[in-house]
Structure 1
Amino acid sequence: MSTTLTPIIMPKWGLEMKEGTITAWLVDVGAVIEVGTPLMEVETDKISNAVEAPDPGLLRRKVAQEGQTLPVKALLGVMADAAVSEAEIDTYVANYVVPAVATSEDDDPPPYSFADIDGLHVRYARRGLGDGVPVLFLHGFGGDLDNWLFNLDVLAEVAPVIALDLPGHGQSTSRLPGTALADLASFVVHFLDELHVERVHVVGHSMGGAIASQMTLDYPGRVASLALINSAGLGTEINAGYTEGFVAATSRRELKPLVEQLFANPELVSRSLLENLLKYKRLDGVPELLQALSAAQFGSGQQAEQPGLRLGGVGKPVLVVWGREDRIIPSSHAVHAPAGATVEVLEGAGHMTMMERANEINALLKRHVTG
């Protein structure tokens, strides 16, 4: 165990996070902490989640109190060996200065950019350095690029990353290029053309996974590898009650029990998450396009297209990850992964595995894209 003092700090989740609120400590002073131990629950304006220990140690001091709202990088607690005195910890806490979040434009680029593709205004984010093959993230039905808030910065440590709001989602134009997967896959390729990106590792979640699979089939030269997370397109079953209910919901009361189905732990659904979804669903054109897209892809109560079942001959590295407790698309669909794919089914996770089990997902994706 370390003899030095190790700070526990407010993490930065996503491109826009500035602060978080401590809702509950999950460990007591004196607890022996392992890497990955959930330490406390923090709520942001996007989601609630657990802060996990990046280092091992002995928890000696809780600095942040439940109910406090603190900025990114603020001191939340201190780990130290038992030999470290309380006076030394007092001095450390008193002298701790919250590191400045980058203030210059060079150090802190705008979190999002916009591009016009096929007459549609599209929000996207780029992170990471180097000239390697970028990792492209595609969200699912009714989502946006912020669904990857726990993943983008971590993957940017090993490769350039790109994430976009698909047409009709997030802050992109509330209009679709078509409701077929081929239409959406073609649009994504046109988006890459606009960014002058030739090839990508594609990571797709839910409907985004089906789009990624279709893109791999239709444009194999543009895809270096494919990662599917709780993906549509690998079977016919889907929770039609969720998709139809999500389209129809117009109030927080109606939306809350639906969104809770996305997570193994429904407590991760914050009021802010619901309010943001309602704001999106009330935008002009959004209810109609969600209805059209849902009818085309899931209108019969089943998935209309299964491009993932045709991946066997593409000759690409494929990673398939599922949350065992997915209540939207059954985790049993993982058995339909193409021969030779790496398949991982994670216990204690639902449909939003990349949020609920971010550390495991990030480790799997890093291994996948670095070969």
Structure 2
Amino acid sequence: MAVLFYVLLAALLAVLGWLGWNMLASGRIAARSESQIPMAGKTISIGGDRIHYVNQGAGRPILFVHGLGGQLHHFRHPLFPAIGDGYRLVAIDRAGSGYSTRVSSGARIPEQAELIAKFIDALGLEKPLLVGHSLGGAIALRVALDHPEKISGLALISPLTHFIPTPPKEFGGLYIRSPLMRRVIAGTLAVPASLKNAQQTLDFVFGPQPVPADYAIAGGGYLGLRPSHFHATSSDLVAVEQDLPQQVGRYGEVRMPVGVLFGSRDRVLNHTQHGLSMQGKIEGIEIEILDGIGHMPQFVEAEKVAAFIRRIADRAFA
């Protein structure tokens, strides 16, 4: 019995030591990531959360909401220059992502939509066009359903519109239902594992196009290598199943200009299931499919995406 006790004790100490090493490694990686990509804009307090955003230009406002695991650089770097003058362009880090905190708000879609509505009020944006990418598309749709008076229209890029019972296997490591385990893994194993698998994950997300050479810095990629960002991303993924199935049945309530842009070779979200299926669900919806393009068209076809946004903006602001 004494031998067994010491064996178990040694095993426990080894596991704790391994977790401790990963915790220290996570801290070093996160610090290096933040030094390479510092805050790009300003912060504003919304309830108990600090929301980081960038704001440039003048004119009618366009507000950008990024997708799962993303941050505001998914728009600021590739799209803002392509859209050009004539608009006030605002992009946010969703709560918990990038440099925004998630303290008082939650990960569920209605909660995130509520935070977007409060941000619009806090920044004094007059009925902006709301641009949502991927999961940001589902959140943008929820803003249109729950807070239609806050916005003028929706421009959805590769949007999540319908519930997927099983997430792609490449995202399997994010699906952690236990809040306790999510917190533990975020602080120990997640960041080193994410760094190890980064190229494989990015190839899946950007494919069939190559990952942009400057994505790690200019595209904000390194900001995903932090425990807080992993925790928020995992929470977002788990929360989708609580609200999206019910949300689909309400799309007919949307009464504003809506456009959907999808790549025909999107590996993350099928363009038929999440794009073409929206035809007829929202009156007057405009759907555009980019042939041969993957999940990140704003990086590989910035001019076409900018033209799409400007076209929907013309309708929304008419």
Q: Identify the range of structure 1 (328-337 vs 150-159) with the bigger mean alpha-carbon deviation.
A: 150-159
> Structure 2 vs 1, CA of residues 121 and 156 (structure 1 numbering), >3 Å: closer, same or farther?
farther
CA-to-aligned-CA distance 1:214-233 (integer Å, 9 cap, x gap): 00000111110111111012
- Alignment pair present for 1:334 and 2:275: yes
Q: State the TM-score, normalizing by the size of structure 2.
A: 0.73
1:1-371 equivalences under 5 Å are 111-130=40-59, 132=60, 134-148=61-75, 149-175=77-103, 177-236=105-164, 239-245=167-173, 248=190, 250-270=193-213, 273=216, 277-283=221-227, 285-297=228-240, 304-305=244-245, 307=247, 310-332=250-272, 333-337=274-278, 338-371=282-315
- Following superposition, the deviation at residue 112 of structure 1 comes to 1.2
| Percent of residue pairs bearing the same amino acid type | 26
- Following superposition, the deviation at residue 267 of structure 1 comes to 2.7
Q: Which is richer in helix? A: 2
Q: Which is richer in strand? A: 1
Q: Distance in 2 between matches of 1:272 and 1:198?
A: 32
Rg: which structure is higher?
A: 1
CA-to-aligned-CA distance 1:52-105 (integer Å, 9 cap, x gap): xxxxxxxxxxxxxxxxxxxxxxxxxxxxxxxxxxxxxxxxxxxxxxxxxxxxxx
What amino acid does structure 1 have at the position aligned with 2:87? A
> Structure 2 vs 1, CA of residues 257 and 185 (structure 1 numbering), >3 Å: closer, same or farther?
same
Indicate conservation of the 8 Å contact 1:177/1:187, yes or no: yes
- Following superposition, the deviation at residue 118 of structure 1 comes to 1.1
Tell me how many residue pairs correspond in the alignment: 258
What amino acid does structure 2 have at the position aligned with 1:354? Q
Give unmatched runs, 5+ long, in structure 1.
1-44, 47-109
Q: 2:14: which partner in 1?
A: none
Q: State the TM-score, normalizing by the size of structure 1.
A: 0.63
> Structure 2 vs 1, CA of residues 292 and 207 (structure 1 numbering), >3 Å: closer, same or farther?
same
Give unmatched runs, 5+ long, in structure 2.
1-35, 176-189
Q: Which has the higher contact order (CA 8 A, sep 6+)?
A: 2
What amino acid does structure 2 have at the position aligned with 1:142? G
CA-to-aligned-CA distance 1:289-311 (integer Å, 9 cap, x gap): 33222222259xxx844635533
- Following superposition, the deviation at residue 269 of structure 1 comes to 4.6
> Structure 2 vs 1, CA of residues 340 and 270 (structure 1 numbering), >3 Å: closer, same or farther?
same
- Following superposition, the deviation at residue 354 of structure 1 comes to 1.4
- Following superposition, the deviation at residue 321 of structure 1 comes to 0.6
Two-structure CA RMSD over aligned residues (Å)? 2.7
- Following superposition, the deviation at residue 244 of structure 1 comes to 2.3
